[in-house]
């Protein structure tokens, strides 16, 4: 199975690494699908809003909702997340990809929703998957992956090395779909 995860050591590190990987691979002409987290530098660091930029070229989908200052409820907008998954899945089926990149395997995926089926479909099509993973959901991810995923260090060179390895057949002119 060509599945790898990475967990950043600092808040936002995983997102920054994945954005960098996407930029490099786009520059090399690879077909990418999935979703990466976008951030708004004008917002305070503790502002809880998540938007996903769907690969390869958008749209940006806001998957959290503003519940007000005093709310402690979950801000996830499950409908918006499922819309993002639907768009990504339709692209996977119609266009294929060389590599799938996802910002994270989170609570939705751990509970069997979110991008979980999309990940499975990509792997069934022999498309490698790279995703972010928090320590909180590691056990659920390992159960999902049947302990066959590779855990990459949060290091650009290590991530690039893994990507280069799984994309070698595509560089040689082989089809990954």
- Predicted confidence band of residue 67 (pLDDT cuts 50, 70, 90): low
Q: How far apart are CA 130 and CA 159, in angstroms?
A: 9
Q: Is 33 strand, coil or helix?
A: strand
DSSP string of 84-114, one letter each residue: HHHHHHHHHHHH--SEEEEEEE-HHHHTT-T
Residue 26 has pLDDT above 60, yes or no: yes
pLDDT at 39: 65
Residue 65 has pLDDT above 90, yes or no: no
- Predicted confidence band of residue 70 (pLDDT cuts 50, 70, 90): low
Q: What is the mean pLDDT of the chain?
A: 87
Classify residue 151: in a domain, yes or no.
yes
Classify residue 77: in a domain, yes or no.
yes
Classify residue 97: in a domain, yes or no.
yes
Classify residue 176: in a domain, yes or no.
no
Overall average pLDDT of the 23-34 stretch? 95
Classify residue 27: in a domain, yes or no.
yes
pLDDT tens profile 72-102: 545 678 888 999 999 999 999 999 999 999 9
Report the CATH number that the domain containing residue 80 is assigned in CATH. 3.40.50.300
Domain total of the chain: 1
Classify residue 70: in a domain, yes or no.
yes
pLDDT at 44: 47
Residue 175 has pLDDT above 50, yes or no: no
Structural domain that includes position 132: 3-171
What are the b/e assignments for 15-28, b being 16+ CB within 10 Å? bebbbebbeebeee
pTM check: above 0.95: no
pLDDT tens profile 115-137: 999 999 999 999 999 999 999 99
- Predicted confidence band of residue 38 (pLDDT cuts 50, 70, 90): confident
Cβ pair 35, 55 in contact under 8 A: yes
Classify residue 7: in a domain, yes or no.
yes
Classify residue 177: in a domain, yes or no.
no
Higher pLDDT, 63 or 70: 63
Higher pLDDT, 48 or 26: 26
């Amino acid at each position: 199975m060509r599945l790898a995860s990475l967990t950043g050591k600092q808040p936002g590190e995983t997102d920054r690494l994945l954005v960098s990987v996407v930029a490099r691979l786009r520059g090399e002409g690879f077909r990418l699908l999935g979703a990466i987290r976008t951030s708004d530098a004008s917002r305070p660091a503790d502002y809880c809003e998540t938007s996903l930029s769907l690969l390869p070229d958008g749209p940006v989908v806001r998957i959290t909702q503003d519940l007000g200052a005093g709310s402690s409820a979950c801000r996830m907008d499950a409908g918006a997340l499922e819309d993002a998954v639907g768009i990504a899945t339709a692209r996977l089926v119609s266009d294929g990809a060389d590599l799938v990149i996802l910002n994270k395997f989170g609570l939705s995926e751990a509970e069997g929703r979110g991008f979980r089926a999309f990940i499975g479909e990509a792997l069934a099509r022999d498309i490698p998957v790279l995703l972010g993973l928090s320590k909180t959901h590691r056990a659920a991810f390992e159960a999902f992956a049947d302990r066959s995923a590779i855990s990459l260090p949060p290091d650009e060179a290590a991530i690039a090395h893994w990507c280069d390895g799984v994309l070698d057949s595509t560089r040689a002119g082989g089809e990954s779909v």
